[in-house]
Amino acid sequence: MTAHSEAVHSETPHAEHAEGDTSPFLVSDRGLLAALLDGMEAAFFAVDMSGTVTHWNHRATRLLGWSAEQAVGRAGLGGWLVREADAAEVRRQLLEVGRAADPERPGGGVGRRTREFPFLHADGTRVLMRATVTPVRDDEGRPLGVYCAFGEALAQLDLERHLALSDGMLGDAPFGVLLADPDLRTVAVNGRAAHALGVSPVDMLGEPLAEFVGAGLDELESALEHTLAGQPPREPVELWLTLSEGEGEDGGPLGEGPPERRRCLVSGFVQLGSPVVGDPVPLGAAWVFQDATHAKRVGQGAARQRFRDSQLSRASRAAADCPDPTDAAVLHLHYALPGFAEHALLDTAGEAGGLVRIAESPGSLAGRGTACGLAVRYRAGHPALQAVDCGVPVRATGGVSRSSWARDHRWPAEAEHALCVPLRSRGRVLGALTFLRGGGRRAFDRLDVGYGEEVALRVAASLDLARALGAR
């Protein structure tokens, strides 16, 4: 008994202390609720089931001009918040949400409805408002009233359009969109942008752009930094980027890179600022681009072909004025080099076998030329010998990792790519024409082979004519 009595007495002060703390806590909680309501960005009011206004926040006052003292306690909305002619319909639409039997409504929270109401400003003007009406129930589910969060209908529609635009751009937009934070890390990217950059959207999130872009990264980051500073490019810009292929791989010393890894992206940049907070610090930058690689390559190819056709035509006209056919052959070499190769070597088949150097373009080959008229000691399996033996063009690439490659082939030290074309005329192979490119250039492709063969046909015709005239 004694112990039980002590326990009761020991608990009594704590219970009284807890009851004494309950009232201040509730007052503080009500103050917090009032602060939250007044700090809302949306205008807000609440009515009970009799239609009497019970809450009205500062945002509603700023939007409609009615103060909380004027609004709270009013029985009904007619004559002040809505016209008398609209009061019954507005009251019905508000309270039917509270009386709804089914609390689950598609497209919103419990019993939530979206309506548009023509509210009256304190100065008498009518303003169309877009409102979200939500029921308030007690613990047993009985309706107590509704609260209404509203804003100008046009502003709400603008916000919804902006959200829809954002979703559309980051969804199935016909152009790439990448959002970067102020640290230039990817925060959002759509599928087309990820496909153009050769990675998956998930792998890009949170990563710096340097993880995916090699050559051209400096220009891209510079454009993004200017955009973050409020000075984005005013016109779309063309960025040639080389996509990273992995650690330790790059696109070449001059950013050439493999053709399939280079992209021409017509890009625009937009600074992203918060529409809610007037913060001068931007949220990031949007990079919007369209992959124009195919169109650019087609255009470049057409321009290159026009230039090469022009060079062939000019060389033919100049060669027609040469009295010596051998000089005409060398002239074809000079006209073939611009935009095509750094060096050209003209070797003809010797009487005792092997190849004899008869011309070089440019003549000195950087001071390391083979004396013209002497046999060139090519090793077995040399691309020039293969071209002569097989009668077909032969392409070869050394690469920067093979420093002795050019020397072993008796070519200038800076040569890294070679194209050896047989000189054919009247069913015979007269020799080989070799074109050389340095490390800053791409390797010869099939279109280059076709152009090299066109030049070789003209050179071979001139050499054959020189031999025919010399045999007389």
pLDDT 10s digit of each residue in the chain, 472 long?
333 333 333 333 444 444 444 444 344 555 566 666 666 667 889 888 888 888 888 888 888 888 888 888 888 888 888 898 888 888 888 888 877 644 444 443 457 788 888 888 888 888 888 888 888 887 777 778 888 888 877 766 776 676 677 776 677 777 788 888 888 888 888 877 777 777 777 777 777 878 777 787 888 888 888 888 878 888 888 888 888 764 333 433 333 444 457 788 888 888 877 665 555 567 788 888 888 888 888 888 888 889 988 888 898 888 888 888 888 888 888 888 888 888 889 888 877 777 888 888 876 443 344 556 677 888 888 898 888 888 899 988 885 555 687 788 888 878 888 899 999 888 888 989 999 988 778 888 888 899 999 999 999 988 888 888 875 5
**Encoded amino acid at 199, one letter:** V
The continuous run of DSSP H or E covering 394 comes out as strand 394-397
Of 159, 462, 463, the closest CA to residue 321 belongs to 462
Q: What is the Cα 36 distance to its own chain's centre?
A: 41
- CA atoms of 453 and 460, how far apart (whole Å): 10
- Cβ pair 284, 187 in contact under 8 A: yes
How many degrees, rounded to 5, is the angle at CA 288 between CA 282 and CA 294? Answer: 155
pLDDT given at position 420: 93
pLDDT given at position 30: 56
Question: Please, what's the b/e burial string for 199-238 (b: 16 or more CB within 10 A of its CB; e: otherwise)?
Answer: bebeebeeeebeebbbbbbebbbebbeebbeeebeeeebe
Strand, coil or helix: 405: helix
pTM: 0.53
pLDDT given at position 25: 38
Tokens encoding 142 = 């009985």
Name, in order, each residue with C-beta under 8 angstroms of 179's C-beta and a sequence gap of 6 or more: 170, 186, 187, 188, 189, 272, 284, 285, 286, 287
- Cβ pair 459, 466 in contact under 8 A: no
Burial class (CB in 10 A: 0-12, 13-18, 19+), 399: exposed
- CA atoms of 3 and 22, how far apart (whole Å): 29
Number of other residues whose CB lies within 10 A of the CB of residue 457: 17
Position of tokens 């255009």? Answer: 299
pLDDT given at position 468: 81
Q: What is the DSSP string of 35-52?
A: HHHHH-SSEEEEEETTSB
For residue 256, the number of C-alpha atoms closer than 13 Å in the C-beta half-sphere is 10
pLDDT given at position 364: 46
Q: How far is CA 38 from CA 34, 122, 128, 162, 312, in A?
A: 6, 19, 22, 26, 81
**Encoded amino acid at 393, one letter:** P
Burial class (CB in 10 A: 0-12, 13-18, 19+), 185: middle
- CA atoms of 203 and 189, how far apart (whole Å): 10
Q: What share of the chain is helix, strand, coil (3-state, %, to 5)?
A: 40, 25, 35
pLDDT given at position 168: 67
What DSSP state is assigned to residue 74?
A: -
Strand, coil or helix: 420: strand
- CA atoms of 218 and 232, how far apart (whole Å): 15
What is Dmax (Cα atoms) for the chain?
Answer: 145
pLDDT given at position 421: 93
